[in-house]
Amino acid sequence: MLIERIREFTGSGHPSLEAVLKAANGIILGKEAQIRMAVACLLARGHLLIEDIPGVGKTTLSHVLATLLGLQYQRIQFTSDLLPADIIGVSIFDRETSSFRFHPGPIFSQVILADEINRASPKAQSALLEAMEEHQVTSDGVTRNLPDPFFVIATQNPIHQVGTFPLPESQLDRFLMRVKLGYPDRDAERALLKGEDRRDLIAHLKPAMTPEELRALQKEVQCVIVSDALVDYVQALIAHTRDGSKFESGLSPRAGLAVLRGAQAWALMSGRKQVLPEDVQAVVPAVVGHRLKAMVSAGAKAFDPAQELIRAVAIP
Amino acid sequence: MSTAPDQAALKRGNVLWLMAAMGFVIAPHAERLPLWVSATCLGVAVWRGLIAWHGRKMPHGLFVAGLAIATAAGTWLSYSRLYGRDASSTLLILMLCLKLLEMRSRRDALLTIFLGFFLVFTNFLYSQTVLMGAYMLVCVWIFMATLVGFNRVGTEATFRERALPAGRIILQAIPLMLVVFILFPRVSTPLWRLPQEGTTGRTGLSESVSPGDLNKLIQSEHVAFRADFKGPIPKNDRLYWRGPVMMDFDGRTWTMSPFPGILTMRTAGIEAKGDEIDYVVTLEPHGKTWMFALDMPLILPSDGFLQSDYQIRSGAPINALRRYEMRSALSYVARRELSPEARRRYTTLPLDSNPRATRFARQLRTNNATDRALINAALLLFNQQFIYTLEPPVLGRSPVDEFLFDTKRGFCEHYASAFVYLMRAAGIPARVVLGYQGGEINTVGNYLIVRQADAHAWAEVWLEGEGWVRTDPTAAVSPDRIERGMDLALGPVGVLPNLIAADKFGLLRQVRYTWDAFNNQWNQWVVGYNTDRQAYFLKGLGIDSTDWRKLAMWLLFGGLAASGLVGAFLLLKRNPAVKDPALLAYEKFVRQMAAVGVRREAHEGPVDFLHRIEREHSDLAAGARRVTDLYIAVRYATHGAIAKSDPRIDQLRAAVANIRNA
């Protein structure tokens, strides 16, 4: 049977992937959709931005993901006095060899948990830029490759919170997806309050997937079929953002690619070999939410740019 | 702000195009412009050429400002004002030319082009003919092409790359133009009516007539007016188009009454005897105030008034095409009673101006018992002894005497003048009427063309009990002139009529009639499209034009519709509607679902739609599932474009057709 009921999160047919989702859902309660989106983001080889108020489990989610995917990870707590060298590493003079020796920073690991990324100054944030896009860092004129796979999972507080620097658009654009967690619902919260300490759970968490399995899945994502008709739809979506009446600026070509890659991963996770418009619609809020800014005009009702976009564009 | 010359503005091709466009639009003005203006414009063009081709420096801003002031002063000296049609268009032309010298940036160039469009408009202040319209369209095209060039990024545009997009833009604008033209509320007079300055030397009748005046006019082939009859066109000898009426005579020249009384139709004292004839006159501008109507008018045009001598005058000089509806009675009784004062005035003659004629008139009076007999005797005299000719001998100080007793050769105004003189000398109230007689029937458009060549003068006498009676002494001399028209009476006059006469097959005549009919339509519907015409036309479309709010609504609606149509056409052209056969089949399925109440949202994907069908119309779920499966397989599970020959497309069509049976 070709059609799966994708909105109800049917199986992907990949046992290890299902195991990852199941384990994550066991720790972060009531957030199946967000967890699924986050995993899709990583399968699409994209960096993930988790945004919400403090205390809803952003950091927990990033820890859980890194652990379950069997990746070696480093956490960087971003603060206002963080310097680029604190991320990339420094060259220190070694007396024994009479030369400078590079001490790699936390960025040289498969997953970076950039916690509260918007508390750092733009200077420190920009140190992440090259790493995220090129998968390499340059320090003292030497370019060093980063491990593969390489993900940045960043968390950030809403912009209006005290002591935050809004991420520059250029950096926002480099995150494939942004996921908002939101408060847990009543039952999930109750289970959370009554259950074990999450930190203990994470401490005992075992990887559910090997890095090789992850790479294989990532390859498979790239093979999910994107037909001309679907590209037409994505182009129609992008064109709608660019006509200049509803959004402050249109989506970039990179955003278009991100929509396609995200939709491919989503399709794979739903066990399909081709992307449907529904897959695109599923990932659009996460992919374009942080890239699109609704035009603010006096008297106009505020609207969710992603939902507005989906509703406004007919599927060709 | 940077003053560095903009690259686009300095491209030679663009500058050349702009100068050419300006040359084209100024050309029709050239014959009216003072010589120094043309010279200045040419000089500026050459200078701008040197700047563009030989890299000369742009003149200093102050210098250009000085030139501007100097040329404005020159305009004032030439016209002794800066406003008004001639002075303003001259000033505009000069300033636009000078703008070339300070054209540093693209913005300057665009400004110049937009002012150029305005200059196009000024040409219509002088001429509103079809040819001028066509020529100005060409000018707009050239300006458009220039605009295209200035808006091009990168290499300079070729001729094709300018001309074709410009043409397309103009074509795209036509629907909106038509809507605005038809619906935009009109003022009662044409838009380009401006106060006329000075003597413009239009051909036509004048306020006075002396021997030899009219035969200059007879040479002119200019159209005086056209008349479109509701019924059949009356016979030639009944077509007397009344114009200025002459009352006073100084022995040589007849002049109009300086203080004519004004009548209303009620007080006019015109009684129709017989059929009333309805017709529409489209009067060419002639710079004077009279409006022509067949003897005798029964109604007045909206802005016309009736003088006591029955001529219709307009409130202002007719400087633009005027279209008015008329009704006349060809058989009538006018003014049964004449006051002693009027009787005195219409029998007044200068003392001792033409003594022989005065004596002859007294002799006629004693020989004839009644006025009728007297008139007939005078007409008989003309008929027996006089010759009708366009080239009469020159007359001296007593023209009536010399004409009546010496030369005996003359033209309509000689006869009318002499006849009225005789009548007055014999005590019968009489006056000279100028106007046009007859006209040429355009067989293509079935209307009457009255040319200056049809100018005529005749006499009117007042008889007891009969009122004013038209008496045409020319008819007594040369009945052909009145019954069959000027050409047949005297042979064709002018070059063109001679050519037409020589044209055995009537081809030229046909071409001429067709062209005139075309001009007539242009005049009726384009130039003469005024409030009345608009109301009439819109009524035919079911639009009430008297309510400006409704008109504004229609204008808005029509404008949107026209722009929308053009826009839709352009969009369709961009995306040729070669639709994927799978999509067509799926759309059919969607329509079927809509028919049973499950409407697909435009943004709803196929699987979502299927789920909704399953929920809302579970009996169709199986069929819908099969359609959706196939549709997804064909449309979304293929790399690249879908092959038209894919067997699954037929399966999909079959699935759609059998949706209820599945």
Q: What is the pLDDT of residue B51?
A: 85
The residues near B527 (Cβ < 8 Å, ≥ 6 apart) are B128, B190, B320, B321
Q: DSSP character for A56? A: S
- Which of B157, B187, B222 is where one domain is finished? B157
pLDDT of B381 strictly over 60: yes
Q: DSSP character for B452? A: G
Per DSSP, the three-state class of B377 is: helix
Q: What is d(CA A159, CA A167) in angstroms, rounded to the nearest whole number?
A: 9
* Beta bridge pairs of residue A115: A77
Q: HEC states along B137-202?
A: HHHHHHHHHHHHHHCCCCCCCCHHHHHHHHHHHHHHHHHHHHHHHHHCCCCCCCCCCCCCCCCCCC
* Mean pLDDT computed over B628-651: 78
Q: How far apart are the first and last CA of chain A?
A: 25
In contact, B262 and B307? CB cutoff 8 Å: yes
CATH number attached to the domain at A223-316? 1.10.8.80
Residue B535 inside a domain? The answer is: no
Q: Which of A25-34, B442-451, B528-537 has the lowest mean pLDDT?
A: B528-537
Extract the tokens encoding B645: 């020959």
Q: What is d(CA B382, CA B426) in angstroms, rounded to the nearest whole number?
A: 17
Burial class of residue A205, CB neighbours in 10 A (0-12, 13-18, 19+):
middle
Q: What is d(CA B75, CA B88) in angstroms, rounded to the nearest whole number?
A: 9
* Mean pLDDT computed over A149-176: 80
In contact, B326 and B278? CB cutoff 8 Å: yes
pLDDT of A194 strictly over 60: yes
Per DSSP, the three-state class of B613 is: helix
For residue A18, the distance in angstroms to the closest alpha carbon of chain B comes to 23
In contact, B209 and B246? CB cutoff 8 Å: yes
In contact, B43 and B94? CB cutoff 8 Å: no
Q: What is the pLDDT of residue B23?
A: 92
Q: Which residue has the tokens 């002499």?
A: B418
Length, in residues, of chain A = 316
* pLDDT band at A103; cut points 50, 70, 90: confident
Cα atoms found within 13 Å of the Cα of residue B324, Cβ hemisphere only: 28
Q: What is the pLDDT of residue A1?
A: 26
In this structure, are B261 and B133 located in the same domain? no
Per DSSP, the three-state class of A110 is: coil
Which pLDDT tens digit goes with each residue over B565-592? 888 888 877 655 567 788 888 888 888 8
Residue B518 inside a domain? The answer is: no
In contact, B227 and B438? CB cutoff 8 Å: no
Q: What is d(CA B347, CA B356) in angstroms, rounded to the nearest whole number?
A: 17
In contact, A179 and A171? CB cutoff 8 Å: no
Residue B241 inside a domain? The answer is: yes
For residue A286, the distance in angstroms to the closest alpha carbon of chain B comes to 18
- Percent of chain A surpassing pLDDT 90: 9
Which pLDDT tens digit goes with each residue over B455-504? 888 999 999 888 899 999 888 888 777 776 666 555 555 556 666 666 66
Which pLDDT tens digit goes with each residue over B100-156? 888 888 888 889 999 999 899 888 888 888 898 999 999 999 999 998 888 776 567
In this structure, are B35 and B105 located in the same domain? yes
Q: What is d(CA B92, CA B123) in angstroms, rounded to the nearest whole number?
A: 12
Extract the tokens encoding B207: 């306020």
Q: What is the pLDDT of residue A142?
A: 82
Q: How far apart are the first and last CA of chain B?
A: 74
Per DSSP, the three-state class of B121 is: helix
Extract the tokens encoding B518: 């075309």
C-alpha pair distances (Å), B276 with each of B295, B328, B330: 11, 6, 7
In contact, B625 and A3? CB cutoff 8 Å: yes
* Mean pLDDT computed over B614-637: 86
Ordered DSSP codes for B424-451? HHTT--EEEEEEEE--EEETTTTEEEEE
pLDDT of B266 strictly over 50: yes
CA angle B397, B207, B298 (to 5 degrees): 130
* pLDDT band at B308; cut points 50, 70, 90: confident
In contact, A57 and A28? CB cutoff 8 Å: yes
Q: What is d(CA B296, CA B433) in angstroms, rounded to the nearest whole number?
A: 12
Extract the tokens encoding B227: 């008349």
Q: What is d(CA A275, CA B381) in angstroms, rounded to the nearest whole number?
A: 109
Residue B541 inside a domain? The answer is: no
Q: Which residue has the tokens 């038509």?
A: B178
Per DSSP, the three-state class of B298 is: coil
Q: DSSP character for B126? A: T
**Any alpha helices (H) in B523-662, and if so which ranges?**
531-540, 548-574, 581-595, 606-616, 621-635, 647-657
Chain B contact present for A197, CB below 8 A: no
* A36, containing H or E segment: helix A32-43
pLDDT of B4 strictly over 60: no
Name the A residues in 14-33 with CB < 8 Å from any B CB. none
In this structure, are B471 and B588 located in the same domain? no
- Tell me the residue type at B390: L
pLDDT of A73 strictly over 90: no
* pLDDT band at A3; cut points 50, 70, 90: very low
C-alpha pair distances (Å), B257 with each of B292, B295, B456: 18, 19, 19
Query: Are residues B637 and A274, on separate chains, in Cβ contact within 8 Å?
Result: yes
Residue B477 inside a domain? The answer is: yes
CA angle B242, B243, B246 (to 5 degrees): 110
Tell me chain B's radius of gyration from C-alpha atoms: 36
Task: Report CA A156 to chain centroid distance, whole Å.
Answer: 12
3-state DSSP helix/strand/coil % of chain B, to nearest 5:
55, 15, 35
Nearest CA in chain A to B604: A315
Judging by DSSP bridges, how do beta strands B322-329 and B312-314 pair with one another? unpaired
Query: Are residues B635 and A227, on separate chains, in Cβ contact within 8 Å?
Result: yes
ipTM of predicted complex:
0.85
Q: What is d(CA B405, CA A259) in angstroms, rounded to the nearest whole number?
A: 109
Per DSSP, the three-state class of B109 is: helix
In this structure, are B408 and B477 located in the same domain? yes
Extract the tokens encoding B288: 């004077």
Query: Are residues A278 and B608, on separate chains, in Cβ contact within 8 Å?
Result: yes
Contacts 24+ apart (CB under 8 A), B621-627: B622/B662, B623/B655, B623/B658, B623/B659, B623/B660, B623/B661, B623/B662, B624/B589, B624/B593, B624/B659, B625/A3, B626/B655, B626/B662, B627/B586, B627/B589, B627/B652, B627/B655, B627/B656, B627/B659
- Percent of chain B surpassing pLDDT 70: 89
* pLDDT band at A7; cut points 50, 70, 90: very low
In contact, B627 and B589? CB cutoff 8 Å: yes
Q: Which CATH class is domain A2-209?
A: alpha beta
Domain residue limits, chain A: 2-209, 223-316
For residue B652, the distance in angstroms to the closest alpha carbon of chain A comes to 15
Q: What is d(CA A263, CA A284) in angstroms, rounded to the nearest whole number?
A: 8
Ordered DSSP codes for B223-242? EEEEEEESSPPPPGGG-EEE
pLDDT of B331 strictly over 60: yes
Q: What is d(CA A114, CA A76) in angstroms, rounded to the nearest whole number?
A: 5
Phi, psi of B208, rounded to the nearest 5 degrees: -140, 165
Q: What is d(CA A282, CA A268) in angstroms, rounded to the nearest whole number?
A: 13
Q: Which of A2, A278, A313 sits opposite B633 (nearest CB)?
A: A2
pLDDT of B203 strictly over 70: no
Q: Which of B32-46, B354-368, B646-660 has the lowest mean pLDDT?
A: B646-660
Name the B residues in 588-617 with CB < 8 Å from any A CB. 602-608, 610-611
* Mean pLDDT computed over B319-342: 86
With contacts defined as CB-CB under 8 Å, which chain B residues touch A273?
A: 637
Averaged pLDDT of chain B: 83
Q: What is the pLDDT of residue B516?
A: 85
Q: What is the pLDDT of residue B320?
A: 77
Q: What is the pLDDT of residue A6?
A: 41
Chain A contact present for B625, CB below 8 A: yes
Nearest CA in chain B to A5: B607
In this structure, are B223 and B303 located in the same domain? yes
The residues near A211 (Cβ < 8 Å, ≥ 6 apart) are A69, A70, A71, A110, A149
Per DSSP, the three-state class of A94 is: strand
Residue B186 inside a domain? The answer is: no
Chain B contact present for A315, CB below 8 A: yes
Q: What is d(CA B64, CA B44) in angstroms, rounded to the nearest whole number?
A: 11
Q: Which residue has the tokens 């020589």?
A: B502
pLDDT of B194 strictly over 60: no
In this structure, are B212 and B346 located in the same domain? yes
Phi, psi of B314, rounded to the nearest 5 degrees: -95, 155
Extract the tokens encoding B371: 């006025």
Chain B contact present for A219, CB below 8 A: no
Q: What is the pLDDT of residue B66?
A: 93
Torsion of CA A297, A298, A299, A301, to 10 degrees: 40
Extract the tokens encoding B287: 């710079």
Extract the tokens encoding A314: 């007919």
Residue B485 inside a domain? The answer is: yes
Domain hosting B21: range is 4-157
* pLDDT band at B72; cut points 50, 70, 90: very high
In contact, A269 and A12? CB cutoff 8 Å: yes
> What domain count does chain B have?
3
Active site residue B456: yes
Query: Are residues B603 and A314, on separate chains, in Cβ contact within 8 Å?
Result: yes
Residue of higher predicted confidence among B486 and B277: B277
Active site residue B629: no
C-alpha pair distances (Å), A116 with each of A75, A121, A151, B366, B439: 11, 11, 16, 130, 97
Chain A contact present for B57, CB below 8 A: no
Q: What is the pLDDT of residue B143?
A: 93
With contacts defined as CB-CB under 8 Å, which chain A residues touch B602?
A: 313-315
